[in-house]
Amino acid sequence: MAEVKEKEISPGAVVAIGLGLGSIAVLGLAALAFTRPPTPPGKARLYGTVTDAETGEALSGVLVTLDGLEEYTDFGGNYLSPDLETGAYVLQFSKEGYETATADLVLVEGNNELNVEMTPAGVPPPEEGIIWGFVTDSLTGEAVPDVKITLNGLVRYTAWAGQYEIRNIATQKYRIQFSKEGYESVSRDVVAVVYEIEGVSGRLDISLPPIVPAKPYLVYARPAQAQVASGGTAYINYRVAIFLISY
């Protein structure tokens, strides 16, 4: 709901410019706005500006309705309702091509300012896309749960069945990464699609390669003895190449 802000209006300054020996008083156009008579005691004055919510430009010709009273905004988007009773009101702003705006407000004695932004009508909301799929072990084919999925700062994790989904994102191309301890990280480029579009699934399945430790190898040698610098004797096991030191 729009906010009601109180703002006292002070008389505009008169600028005097001296030309030669004579002086000509030049009134700025803005001063004309302050030539209206003051609000009577106990009465309220409501005023403000109506603008386009997207461009910020002033909107002229907006119908302003207040308890049966009607007026239109001027070329600068301004409106003014003087000599109103104080109390609660419902104010409505309407213009072809824009969504109607409604504001509840309480007018107090003196000046009351209410600026309104109007949203263009017929503008579809941004489409919401989805990316989803399953993550499996590339060797066993089994589902991999708790895989960390990172996309533009968003973080998700696969469920127990390896499934994941990322909803409510813009329909565009992303770089998505899958990572889990014990597995090699995988990155893919993917385009999020609108879920309701028939024949376009937005599905991206991933096979994570597990990190396999290097296999130990056996060293074969004949049993032998060797003198070491400390004076002990080293015995070489002919199967597992373990050095046993004795003194």
Q: Which residue ranges form the domains of the chain, and what is each CATH number? A: 15-118 (2.60.40.1120), 128-208 (2.60.40.1120), 216-247 (no CATH)
Predicted confidence (pLDDT) at residue 4 exceeds the cutoff of 70: no
Surface-to-core class of residue 97, CB atoms within 10 Å of its CB (0-12 exposed, 13-18 middle, 19+ buried): exposed
* Cα gap 143→140, rounded to integer Å: 9
pLDDT digits (tens, 9 = 90+) for 49-96: 999 999 999 999 999 998 888 999 999 999 999 889 999 999 999 999
A 10 A CB-CB count for 91 gives: 23
Residue 68 confidence (pLDDT): 82
Q: Are 44 and 86 in contact (CB under 8 A)?
A: yes
pLDDT band for position 197 (50/70/90)?
A: low
Lowest mean pLDDT among 31-45, 130-144, 165-179, 230-244: 230-244
* Cα gap 30→162, rounded to integer Å: 67
pLDDT digits (tens, 9 = 90+) for 91-129: 999 999 999 999 898 999 999 999 999 999 875 666 678
Residue 3 confidence (pLDDT): 39
Give the chain's mean pLDDT. 75
Predicted confidence (pLDDT) at residue 185 exceeds the cutoff of 90: yes
Residue 22 confidence (pLDDT): 33
pLDDT digits (tens, 9 = 90+) for 130-141: 899 999 999 999
Residue 23 confidence (pLDDT): 29
Residue 196 confidence (pLDDT): 54
